[in-house]
């Protein structure tokens, strides 16, 4: 690759990374519900992406590659902050039921209610749900980003949405009709 | 008959339907079942509503564009730094440091600094800013190896070079005398190479002070407002940025 094409790719690459900053931050915020940490996660993912730009073989996969990097950053953060906890087990456990900052701001607001419901989901479900619903990644892409089987993506998604529905229903969210379960 | 079809549709297939994950044949089969089963239709409607609610709940979430006072400074404005680095990479024919990490420091350095237009655009001296933000031993020793490799190669080839180590976050440990680290190696290095300078992140120092930690730095270590401000300044001056 000559310098001109390298330069062109670099600038295009840079522009595409910049476009991804807000989506990365949004998903990171949905994962950790901490703005400072979300910003760090998004920026760390971007820095690592630049550092390892040569590892991206298919430019079309930039977004899923970036979110995969951020998922690893998040796991690294959890490992560092909870060295005695099995992170893989954490994927399936509710992290805590403490009120989040969003929760403290007012349950009446549907936005806060939904964010609270998302924050209460087990980590793995939260990651899967937000990647599918916020960024519209396919199941296959989510499986690659989180390094899990597609079947796990589907089961986490089902459980996440059922839990959300239940939480929102109990909270009398105005937009959620009371429904019977489907099989 | 219709009920039989509906009862065969599992919840994960309905999820897949709203996520557009089904092939056209299965999608058509389920949509047909939904048309004849109000309860099923309601479940799908609910799933779509939940999906929309989630999107709505995070629609307005955007990152802060500036550093928030007092907030964690670990990696803020990284993209701005990197963007400037990329511009420098393109405009000056310089490099971003990948080659450096792949071994052959001396050879790479000689190659990168050889010939017109191959180096940073600050006079005839090559300027490199090395950034360390981690105290992980392998990162620290890797950074010191890189600094030493550059300085030695420059001396051997007779090419003037200036290397500046900028440390922040836990990487500040390398510049602290109150923390067991590789400070002695750094002192030796600096004694051997006067063209090596050290800069500490003022924000990291402030944060440690707020935690009751009195930071003691190596002699002649400069303190910048923040590591990233220093890096941006250097890159704008034409320095080559390398993240350790």
Percent of chain B with pLDDT over 90: 15
Answer yes or no: is pLDDT of B66 > 70: no
Residue of B nearest to A25 (CA): B63
On chain B, the residues whose CB falls within 8 A of the CB of A54 are 98
- Residue of A36, A54, A110 with shortest CB distance to B53: A110
User: Which pLDDT tens digit goes with each residue over A117-175?
Assistant: 999 999 999 999 999 999 999 999 999 999 999 999 999 999 999 999 888 888 765 54
Answer yes or no: is pLDDT of B68 > 90: no
Answer yes or no: is pLDDT of A5 > 50: no
Quote the minimal CA–CA distance from B177 to chain A in Å. Answer: 24
Answer yes or no: is pLDDT of A35 > 60: yes
**Same domain membership, residue B20 and residue B103:** no
Residues 37..76 of A with a Cβ closer than 8 Å to B: which? 37-40, 42-44, 46-47, 50-51, 53-54
Alpha-helical segments (H) within chain B: 2-7, 11-18, 24-35, 38-58, 78-92, 98-101, 105-112, 137-157, 183-192, 202-210, 227-236
Domain membership of residue B50 as a residue range: 2-58
pLDDT confidence of A1, banded at 50, 70, 90? very low
**Same domain membership, residue B220 and residue B171:** yes
Q: Given CB atoms, is A139 within the 8 Å cutoff of chain B?
A: yes
Q: What is the mean pLDDT of residues B110-133?
A: 55
Tokens for A133? 């619903």
| Cα–Cα nearest to A161, from B158, B141, B19, B88 | B19
- Residue of A10, A133, A177 with shortest CB distance to B86: A10
Higher-confidence residue of A136 and A182: namely A136
**Same domain membership, residue B94 and residue B22:** no
On chain A, the residues whose CB falls within 8 A of the CB of B55 are 133-134
**Same domain membership, residue B107 and residue B52:** no
Higher-confidence residue of B72 and B192: namely B192
Q: Where are chain A's structural domains? A: 3-170
* Residue B68 resides in a domain: no
**Same domain membership, residue B151 and residue B239:** yes
pLDDT value of residue A26: 93
Least confident of A26-40, B203-217, B227-241: B227-241
Residue of B nearest to A165 (CA): B50
Q: What is the mean pLDDT of residues B52-80?
A: 61
Displacement of CA A8 from its chain's centroid (Å): 30
Q: Across all residues in chain B, what is the average pLDDT?
A: 73
Residues 76..95 of A with a Cβ closer than 8 Å to B: which? none
Least confident of A93-97, B38-42, B118-122, B205-209: B118-122
Answer yes or no: is pLDDT of B179 > 60: yes
**Same domain membership, residue B234 and residue B123:** yes
Q: Given CB atoms, is A25 within the 8 Å cutoff of chain B?
A: yes
On chain B, the residues whose CB falls within 8 A of the CB of A157 are 12, 15, 19
**Same domain membership, residue B106 and residue B35:** no
CA geometry: angle at A170 spanning A165 and A176, to 5°? 45
Answer yes or no: is pLDDT of B97 > 70: no
Q: Do B58 and A182 touch (CB under 8 A)?
A: no
**Same domain membership, residue B93 and residue B183:** yes
* Residue B64 resides in a domain: no
Second-level CATH architecture of A3-170 = Up-down Bundle (1.20)
User: Which pLDDT tens digit goes with each residue over A143-153?
Assistant: 999 999 999 99
pLDDT value of residue A104: 44
Answer yes or no: is pLDDT of A92 > 80: no
Residue of A nearest to B244 (CA): A51
On chain A, the residues whose CB falls within 8 A of the CB of B19 are 132, 138-139, 157
- Residue of B11, B54, B85 with shortest CB distance to A114: B54
Higher-confidence residue of A167 and B119: namely A167
Higher-confidence residue of B237 and B86: namely B237
Contact indicator for A43, B76 with CB cutoff of 8 Å: yes
User: Which pLDDT tens digit goes with each residue over A38-90?
Assistant: 888 888 888 888 778 778 878 888 999 999 999 999 988 888 876 555 555 55
β-pairing verdict for B126-132 and B161-167: parallel
pLDDT confidence of B74, banded at 50, 70, 90? very low
Contact indicator for A27, A63 with CB cutoff of 8 Å: no
* Residue B70 resides in a domain: no
pLDDT confidence of A111, banded at 50, 70, 90? confident
* Residue B17 resides in a domain: yes
**Same domain membership, residue B110 and residue B208:** yes
| Cα–Cα nearest to A55, from A65, A67, A45, A46 | A65
Higher-confidence residue of B157 and B113: namely B157
pLDDT value of residue A147: 93
A vs B: CB pairs below 8 A: 145
* Residue B100 resides in a domain: yes
Contact indicator for A18, A1 with CB cutoff of 8 Å: no
What three-state secondary structure class fits B225?
Answer: coil
Q: Do A115 and B74 touch (CB under 8 A)?
A: no
* Residue B107 resides in a domain: yes
**Same domain membership, residue B188 and residue B142:** yes
**Same domain membership, residue B203 and residue B167:** yes
pLDDT value of residue B65: 57
On chain A, the residues whose CB falls within 8 A of the CB of B53 are 110, 114, 168, 173, 175-176
pLDDT value of residue A11: 62
Answer yes or no: is pLDDT of B213 > 50: yes
ipTM of model: 0.73
Q: What is the mean pLDDT of residues A100-119?
A: 68
pLDDT value of residue A145: 94
Q: What order do you get walking across the sheet with B196-201 strand by strand?
A: B222-224, B196-201, B161-167, B126-132, B240-243
Q: How many other β-carbons are positioned within 10 Å of the β-carbon of residue A54?
A: 10
Percent of chain A with pLDDT over 70: 72
**Same domain membership, residue B49 and residue B107:** no
Domain count, chain B: 2
Least confident of A77-81, A164-168, B174-178, B227-231: B227-231
């Amino acid at each position: 690759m000559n310098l001109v094409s390298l330069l062109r790719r670099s600038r295009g690459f840079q522009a595409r990374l910049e476009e991804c900053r807000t989506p990365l931050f949004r998903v990171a915020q949905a994962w950790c519900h901490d703005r400072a940490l979300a910003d760090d996660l998004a920026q760390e993912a971007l820095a690592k992406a630049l550092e390892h730009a040569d590892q991206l073989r298919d430019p079309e996969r930039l977004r899923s590659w970036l979110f995969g990097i951020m998922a690893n950053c998040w796991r690294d953060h959890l490992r560092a902050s909870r060295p005695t906890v099995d992170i893989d087990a954490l994927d399936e456990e509710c992290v805590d039921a403490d009120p989040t900052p969003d929760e403290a701001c007012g349950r009446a607001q549907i936005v806060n209610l939904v964010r609270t419901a998302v924050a209460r989901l087990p980590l793995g479900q939260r990651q899967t749900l937000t990647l599918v619903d916020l960024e519209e990644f396919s199941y296959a892409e989510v499986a690659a980003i989180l390094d899990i089987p597609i079947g796990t993506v589907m089961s986490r998604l089902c459980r996440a949405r059922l839990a959300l529905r239940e939480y929102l229903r109990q909270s009398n969210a105005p937009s959620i009709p009371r429904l019977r379960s489907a099989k | 008959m219709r009920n039989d079809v509906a009862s065969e549709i599992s919840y994960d297939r309905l999820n897949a339907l709203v996520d557009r994950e089904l092939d056209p044949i299965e999608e058509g089969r389920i949509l047909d079942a939904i048309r004849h089963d109000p309860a099923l239709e309601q479940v799908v409607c609910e799933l779509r509503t939940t999906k929309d609610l989630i999107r709505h709940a995070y629609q307005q979430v955007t990152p802060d564009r500036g550093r928030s006072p007092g907030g964690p400074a670990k990696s803020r404005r990284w993209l701005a730094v990197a963007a400037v680095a990329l511009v420098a990479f393109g405009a000056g024919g310089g490099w971003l440091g990948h080659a450096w990490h792949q071994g052959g420091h001396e050879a790479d350095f000689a190659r990168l600094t050889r010939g017109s237009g191959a180096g940073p655009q600050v006079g005839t001296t090559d300027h490199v800013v090395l950034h360390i933000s981690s105290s992980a031993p392998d990162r620290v020793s890797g950074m010191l190896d890189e600094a030493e490799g550059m300085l030695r190669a420059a001396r051997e080839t007779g090419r003037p070079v200036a290397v500046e180590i900028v440390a922040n976050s836990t990487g500040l440990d390398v510049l602290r005398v109150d923390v067991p680290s590789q400070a002695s190696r750094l002192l030796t290095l600096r004694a051997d190479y006067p063209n090596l300078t050290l800069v500490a992140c003022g924000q990291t120092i402030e944060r440690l002070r707020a935690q009751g930690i009195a930071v003691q730095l190596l002699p002649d270590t400069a303190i910048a407002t923040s590591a990233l401000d220093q890096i941006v300044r250097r890159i704008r001056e034409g320095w080559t940025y390398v993240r350790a």
